[in-house]
Structure 1
Amino acid sequence: MCGLAGYARLDGQDLGPEFDGLLNNFAELLHHRGPDERELLRSGPVGLAFTRLSLVNPQDGTQPLISDDGNLVLIANGEVYNHKELAAGLPSDVRLKTGSDCEVLLYLYRQHGLDFLRDVRGMFAIILWDRARGQLVLARDRFGIKPLYYHRTDQRIVLSSEIKGLFADPATPRRFAWARALSVPTVAAAPRFSAEQMCTWFEGVESVPAASVLRVDLRDGKTVEHRYWELPTAADESTSAEGFIERYGDLLESSIRDCATADSELGLFLSGGIDSSIVLALARKQVEELHTFTALSGGTRANGDAEHSSWLADQWGIPNHQVLFEPGLTPTPEQWLRLVWLTESPMVGPEVYYKHELHRFARQVRPELRGMLLGAASDEFNGGYSEGMGDDWAGFLSGLRGMNRTTRLDGMPGLRYWWGEGEAFLSDNVLNSQGAEQDTDLYASYVLSEYRKVQQYNVWHEDRTAAGSGVEARVPFLDHRIVELTSSIPEHLRPRLLWDKRILREAVGSRVPRRIAERPKVPFFYGNGTHHAYGMLVRLMNSNGRELVERALAAPGASTYLDADSIRQGLNNFGEGTSDSPSVELLMRIVNMGLLAEMATSAPRLESMDTGTVRTELRVHSDLLAETQKIFEAGRNYDLTAVPVSAKGLLLLSDASGDWYLANDGQIEFVLEPESPIVRVLQRIDGTSTLATVLREADVKLKAVEEELDALVDQRLVLFVA
Structure 2
Amino acid sequence: MFSGCGIAGALVFDDAGGPVPTAADVARMTDALAHRGPDGEGLWSDRGVHFGHRRLSIVGLGDTGAQPMTRDHLTIVYNGELYNFRELREQLRGDFVFESGTDTEVLLRAWQKWGPAAVDRLRGMFAFALWDGRERTLSLVRDRLGVKPLYFHRSDSAIVFASEVDALLRCPTVPRAPDLDAIRHRLLCSSTLEVDPWRTVVSGVRALPPATRLTVRSDGRTSSTTYWRLPEAGDDSGTELLPLLSDSVRTMLMADVPVSAFLSGGLDSSAITALARQSGDVTAVTVAYADEHGADPGVNDDLRFSQALVEHLGAGVDHHTFVQPNAVTLADVDAVCDMAALNDDVRHVNILANYRSVRDLGLTVVLNGQGADETMGGYVGRPNFIANIMDIGAPDDTRVNRLPSSRSAGGLSAEVLRYRGGADRDVLDFLKSLPGTGVERAHRLLVHTQLARVVQFEDFLAMRMSIEARFPFLDHPVVEWCFARPFERHLRADTRQGKVALREAMRGLLPDTVLDRPKAVFPYPELGALHRSLGELAADHEPELHADPLVASLFALPDKGEIKSLPVDSLWLVLATWRWHSRLQHA
Match for 1:28 among 24, 27, 31? 31
**Matches of 1:305 and 1:28 in 2, distance apart?**
39
Give yes or no for contact 2:352–2:462 (8 Å, CA) kept in 1.
yes
Aligned in 2, Cα 1:347/1:443: closer, same or farther, shift over 3 Å?
Answer: same
1:152 positional shift: 1.4
**Superposed CA offset, 1:646-705 (max 9, x none):** xxxxxxxxxxxxxxxxxxxxxxxxxxxxxxxxxxxxxxxxxxxxxxxxxxxxxxxxxxxx
**Matches of 1:458 and 1:561 in 2, distance apart?**
24
Q: Does 1:231 align with 2:240?
A: no
Give yes or no for contact 2:33–2:54 (8 Å, CA) kept in 1.
yes
Match of 1:106?
108
Match of 2:516?
518
Give yes or no for contact 1:397–1:442 (8 Å, CA) kept in 2.
no
Give yes or no for contact 1:5–1:50 (8 Å, CA) kept in 2.
yes
**Superposed CA offset, 1:463-483 (max 9, x none):** 111101111011101011111
Give yes or no for contact 2:358–2:366 (8 Å, CA) kept in 1.
no
1:597 positional shift: 1.2
Match for 2:499 among 495, 498, 501? 501
Match of 2:303?
306
Identity %: 28
**Superposed CA offset, 1:604-645 (max 9, x none):** xxxxxxxxxxxxxxxxxxxxxxxxxxxxxxxxxxxxxxxxxx
Match of 2:256?
263
**Matches of 1:349 and 1:93 in 2, distance apart?**
50
Give yes or no for contact 1:340–1:348 (8 Å, CA) kept in 2.
no
Match of 1:385?
379
**Secondary structure at the residue paired with 2:95?**
coil
Give yes or no for contact 2:344–2:573 (8 Å, CA) kept in 1.
yes
Give yes or no for contact 1:194–1:449 (8 Å, CA) kept in 2.
no
Q: Does 1:541 align with 2:534?
A: yes
1:349 positional shift: 3.1
**Matches of 2:540 and 2:563 in 1, distance apart?**
16
Q: How does 1:525-564 map to 2 (within 5 A)?
A: 525=523, 530=524, 532-544=525-537, 546-548=539-541, 550-564=543-557
**Secondary structure at the residue paired with 2:190?**
coil
Aligned in 2, Cα 1:285/1:551: closer, same or farther, shift over 3 Å?
Answer: farther
Aligned in 2, Cα 1:264/1:13: closer, same or farther, shift over 3 Å?
Answer: farther
**Secondary structure at the residue paired with 1:457?**
helix
1:115 positional shift: 2.4
Q: Does 1:248 align with 2:241?
A: yes
Aligned in 2, Cα 1:138/1:565: closer, same or farther, shift over 3 Å?
Answer: same
Give yes or no for contact 1:260–1:283 (8 Å, CA) kept in 2.
yes
**Secondary structure at the residue paired with 1:458?**
helix
Aligned in 2, Cα 1:184/1:331: closer, same or farther, shift over 3 Å?
Answer: closer
For structure 1, which segment, 82-91 or 250-259, has the greater mean C-alpha deviation from structure 2 after superposition? Answer: 82-91
Q: How does 1:166-177 map to 2 (within 5 A)?
A: 166-177=168-179
**Secondary structure at the residue paired with 2:60?**
coil
Residue type of the alignment partner of 1:304: D
Residue type of the alignment partner of 2:208: V
Aligned in 2, Cα 1:562/1:141: closer, same or farther, shift over 3 Å?
Answer: same
Residue type of the alignment partner of 2:190: A
**Matches of 1:28 and 1:506 in 2, distance apart?**
48
**Matches of 1:333 and 1:258 in 2, distance apart?**
39
1:523 positional shift: 1.5
Give yes or no for contact 1:295–1:354 (8 Å, CA) kept in 2.
no
1:102 positional shift: 2.5
For structure 1, which segment, 72-81 or 452-461, has the greater mean C-alpha deviation from structure 2 after superposition? Answer: 452-461
Aligned in 2, Cα 1:597/1:350: closer, same or farther, shift over 3 Å?
Answer: closer
Aligned in 2, Cα 1:79/1:186: closer, same or farther, shift over 3 Å?
Answer: farther
Give yes or no for contact 2:145–2:452 (8 Å, CA) kept in 1.
no
Q: Does 1:19 align with 2:18?
A: no
Residue type of the alignment partner of 1:377: G
Alignment root-mean-square deviation, CA: 3.3
TM-score normalised over the length of structure 1: 0.70
Residue type of the alignment partner of 1:445: R
1:571 positional shift: 4.0
Q: Does 1:592 align with 2:586?
A: no
1:405 positional shift: 2.8
Aligned in 2, Cα 1:400/1:97: closer, same or farther, shift over 3 Å?
Answer: farther
Residue type of the alignment partner of 1:464: F
Instruction: Report the count of equivalent residues.
Output: 549
Match of 1:207?
207
- Bigger relative contact order, structure 1 or 2, given CA contacts below 8 A and separation 6+? 2
**Matches of 1:494 and 1:310 in 2, distance apart?**
27
**Superposed CA offset, 1:344-398 (max 9, x none):** 53335343111211222322232xx11111111111111100111349x972376
TM-score normalised over the length of structure 2: 0.85
**Secondary structure at the residue paired with 2:369?**
coil
Give yes or no for contact 2:212–2:224 (8 Å, CA) kept in 1.
yes
Which structure: larger Rg?
Answer: 1
1:534 positional shift: 3.4
1:458 positional shift: 0.8
Aligned in 2, Cα 1:508/1:571: closer, same or farther, shift over 3 Å?
Answer: same
1:117 positional shift: 0.7
Q: How does 1:552-701 map to 2 (within 5 A)?
A: 552-565=545-558, 571-572=564-565, 574=567, 584-603=568-587
Give yes or no for contact 1:178–1:557 (8 Å, CA) kept in 2.
no
Residue type of the alignment partner of 1:591: L
Q: Does 1:132 align with 2:116?
A: no
**Matches of 1:301 and 1:399 in 2, distance apart?**
41
Give yes or no for contact 1:346–1:593 (8 Å, CA) kept in 2.
yes
